[in-house]
Chain A
Amino acid sequence: MSDFITRLKNITGLNIHKEKLYQASLKVDKEKIRKTLLDLKKEGFLQFTTLTCIDWIEEKTFQLVYHLWHREEKLHLKVKIDIDRDAPIVETVSDIYIVAQTYEREVKEMFGVDFKGNKRLIPFILEDWNEIPPMRRDFNTREYVKDMYETEDRTEEIFKPRWKKYD
Chain B
Amino acid sequence: MSILNKFRGKSLWMLHYCTGCGAIEMPPVMTSRYDMERFGIIPMATPRQADILLITGYLAVKTLKRVIRTYEQMHSPKWVVGFGACTVNGGMYWDSYATIKKLELYLPVDLYIAGCMPRPEAIMDAFIELRKGISSGKYEGWKKYIENYDWYKKNQAKLFDVKKWSVNYE
Does any Cβ of B come within 8 Å of A162's Cβ?
yes
Does any Cβ of A come within 8 Å of B37's Cβ?
no
Interface size range of chain B in the complex: 35 or more
A to B contact number (C-beta, < 8 Å): 77
Q: Which residue of A lies closest to B81 (CB)?
A: A161
Does any Cβ of A come within 8 Å of B90's Cβ?
yes
Contact status of A134 and B166, CB under 8 A, knowing A128-B61, A150-B102: no
Interface size range of chain A in the complex: 20 to 34
Does any Cβ of A come within 8 Å of B121's Cβ?
no
Partner of B94 from the list A126, A127, A151, A161 (CB cut-off 8 Å) is A151
**A151 & B90 in contact (Cβ 8 Å cutoff):** yes
**A161 & B166 in contact (Cβ 8 Å cutoff):** no
Does any Cβ of A come within 8 Å of B100's Cβ?
yes
**A145 & B96 in contact (Cβ 8 Å cutoff):** yes
Main secondary structure of the interface of A (DSSP, over half): loop
Mark contacts of A126-167 with chain B using CB atoms, 8 A cut-off: 1 yes-contact digit, 0 otherwise: 111000001000010110110011110010001111111000
**Distance A55 CA – B109 CA, assembled complex (angstroms):** 40
Interface residues of B (CB under 8 A from A): 61-62, 65, 82, 89-90, 94-98, 100-102, 104-105, 108-112, 114, 125-126, 129, 133, 138-139, 141, 144, 148, 151-152, 158-161, 166-168, 170
